[in-house]
Amino acid sequence: MAPASFHHEKVCVMDASGRLGSTLVERLLERGYIVHAAVQGHVDDLKLNGVATEREKKLKIFHADPFDYQSITDALKGCSGLFYAFEPPQDHPAYDEYMVEVEVRAAHNVVEACARTETIDKVVFTSSATAVLWRDNNSQSLASDLDERHWSDVNFCRKFKLWHALSKTVAEKTAWALAMDRDINMVSINGGLLMEPHLSITHPYLKGAAEMYECGTFVTVDLQFLVDAHICVFEDVSSYGRYLCFNHAITNHEDAIHLACLLTPYSPSPPPSYEEANMIIQQRLSNKKLNKVMVDFE
């Protein structure tokens, strides 16, 4: 159960139609929250698996477009918290250079709307591990592990057309700059690759997957763990800053092959060389900070 102080607290989830958003809505209702579920598309985009009728009374659905300021403020009205995750617009689902601009503008609008909503106490901003891990391999920092203090190098991302990483990095930096300027209590969750049923090799996170694997920075996260992490950092009054969030690191050939089979089920993978099969890659991303706050989370 949620701590008593969180019962009947009103929070907003945006965008609530994605896999993360809809699962967050369900879990928050289970924990006794009143939820404003803000969806970009049609209201029936919100696929909630069997939310009990009793709980449905605590659910209010809003149509909120991150480019329509008024619709964001309507969804936030009376809420003490916001869980914000960017979902690409339906008419433009691919990540490219244009998407960077779109995601940054959306982040700016949403954080600005929070600044103008007096009831908002805390914002949980969903970012990505791709906003942490990309940099030139020749740089000094490669010698050490990477954690929340590191940022992907925007010039590096642009040069290699890592649009997902560039989008996430610039949008998150924009959100942080505005949150600090407007004195908003914000935390970010920088998730690994979300493992979901219809994951395919075309997922924009996977651009540069081989390099991530070789560098020891290829991490994945299960949906339930990601959802728990969001709620945990929201409820923990001492949470601050960024949190790298993953519960699996791909560090050996077996894991890599297993993932490759999930992503491209019909292409046979070549047998590994003896060296490949026995090579263990040093994991270089650290999630210690998140693990510390999640120890007592129920």
Query: Domains along the chain?
Result: 10-294 (3.40.50.720)
What confidence category does residue 48 fall into, taking pLDDT thresholds of 50, 70 and 90?
A: low
d(CA 144, CA 153): 16
d(CA 115, CA 184): 6
Q: What is the pLDDT of residue 266?
A: 77
Sign for the CA dihedral angle at 218, 220, 226, 232 comes to negative
Average pLDDT across the chain, whole number:
90
Q: Which two tokens stand for residue 93?
A: 């689902």
> Region 36-50: what's the mean pLDDT?
73
Distances (CA, A) of 165 to 6, 160, 170: 34, 10, 9
> Region 86-106: what's the mean pLDDT?
89
Q: What is the pLDDT of residue 208?
A: 95
Q: Which long-range contacts (CB under 8 A, 24 or more apart) does 269-276 make?
A: none
Residues designated as active site:
168
Chain-centre distance for alpha carbon 18: 11
Backbone φ and ψ for 47, nearest 5 degrees, come out as -95, 100
145-149, 188-192, 276-280: which has the highest mean pLDDT? 188-192
Answer whether residue 45 shows pLDDT above 80. no
Tracing tokens 């959306």 back to the chain, one arrives at: 106
Distances (CA, A) of 205 to 95, 209, 254: 9, 8, 21
What confidence category does residue 1 fall into, taking pLDDT thresholds of 50, 70 and 90?
A: very low
Sign for the CA dihedral angle at 42, 48, 50, 52 comes to negative
Q: What is the pLDDT of residue 296?
A: 86
Q: Which two tokens stand for residue 234?
A: 């929201």
Give yes or no for a contact between 62 and 38, defined as CB atoms under 8 angstroms apart: yes
* Range with lowest mean pLDDT among 203-217, 245-259, 273-287: 273-287
* Burial of 52 (C-beta count, 10 Å sphere; 0-12/13-18/19+): exposed
